[in-house]
Copies of this chain bind each other. A is one copy, B any other.
Amino acid sequence: MLEAEFTYNLPGVVQSLRESREKTHKIRHLGKVRELPDRQSIEAILEGLFAALFPTHYGRADLTDESIDYFVGNVLSVALNSLTEQIRRGLYFSAGNDLTREVTFNELSESLTARFASELPAIRALIVSDIRAAMSGDPAATSVSEILLCYPGVSAAIHYRIAHSLYQLGAPLLARFISEIAHSRTGVDIHPGAMIGEGFFIDHGTGVVIGQTAILGKNIRLYQAVTLGAKRFPEDGDGNLIKGADRHPILEDDVVIYAGATVLGRITIGARSTIGGNVWLTKNVPPDSNISQAQSLGH
């Protein structure tokens, strides 16, 4: 049969796409196809970790003292097994063409996952401090359950606490994947490399961006659309971006930043300062400052 008679010319399109992949617009340079981490598995892992951390809110509704530890142990076991596999894929993938280390990756991903598991109680402690910060920071909040179920900023914080732990343990691709899932769900974009102290609260949240090298102290409160970003990107002599350099703000303890404020560059905002809404800030601020936008409204 002549292909020209086909409705969609599938053979032609399939062939063109193959050429695009292999020659014209090739974007992977691998000698062998390798499995990538996949979103569905990571979402299931997150569901398991949330349930293990807060079983009565994110787990089964019918848990009792008799059954709760079995539930937590089982959901953890499933999530950690899957996490080991996803971390292995991430490590294997990032290794480029040096695949001699495949066995090492299997062991490494297992031990890395075990270390992550041992950090879960500490992660839970941080999240509880975040929930308390939400309870005391929002006059509309009525209960811990409302906060756990209905606050996107708290959801973003939980995702971040998990992603940051994985990032520090050596699973950066997994960590980024989780931060992007959180971004999609909550509108809050926190790079897992950022360091954030206890009692962290983001209200409303949509549009918040926190960069890779940002450092936030204890009891930081942010409102929607706050950016903690880079002012400019350092380049090397050839004009290429230098990856990983410190370029995001440092917030000392008890800083509050209102909606829409943009804070850029490796500046320090001193403890207990308040930054007003829509402020554009690129210089250091001493402790106990109160920065607000100039009022310049015409009629």
Residues of A within 8 A of B (CB): 1, 3, 6-14, 16-21, 24-25, 27-28, 33, 35-39, 52-53, 55-57, 60-78, 80-81, 93-94, 110, 113-114, 117-118, 120-121, 124-125, 128, 131-132, 136-146, 149-152, 172-173, 176-177, 179-180, 183-187, 189, 191, 193, 204-207, 209, 211-212, 223-225, 227, 229-230, 233-234, 240-245, 247, 259-260, 262, 264, 277-281, 289-299
Contact = CB atoms under 8 A, between A and B. Distances in A.
Contact of A25 (B11, B33, B124, B209): B124
20 contacts: A7-B110, A12-B118, A13-B117, A18-B68, A25-B125, A27-B128, A28-B145, A70-B74, A73-B74, A137-B241, A138-B241, A143-B173, A150-B179, A152-B189, A184-B185, A209-B259, A227-B260, A280-B295, A281-B297, A289-B299
Contact of A36 (B57, B69, B121, B173): B57
A6 B70 CA distance: 14
Contact of A204 (B14, B132, B209): B209
Contact of A140 (B71, B144, B191): B191
Contact of A144 (B6, B27, B78, B80): B27
A66 B77 contact: yes
Contacts of A131: 27
A56 B70 contact: no
Closest 9 CB pairs of A and B: A70-B73, A294-B296, A67-B77, A74-B74, A25-B128, A16-B121, A6-B66, A35-B61, A150-B180
A27 B10 CA distance: 26
Contacts of A57: 36
Nearest to A184: B185
A189 B13 CA distance: 29
Contacts of A114: 7-9
Contact of A278 (B1, B6, B124, B280): B280
A217 B78 CA distance: 43
Given A114-B9, A177-B149, A209-B206, A52 B139 contact: no
A21 B57 CA distance: 12
B20 A125 contact: yes
A290 B280 contact: no
Nearest to A128: B25
Contact of A294 (B25, B240, B297): B297
A39 B57 CA distance: 10
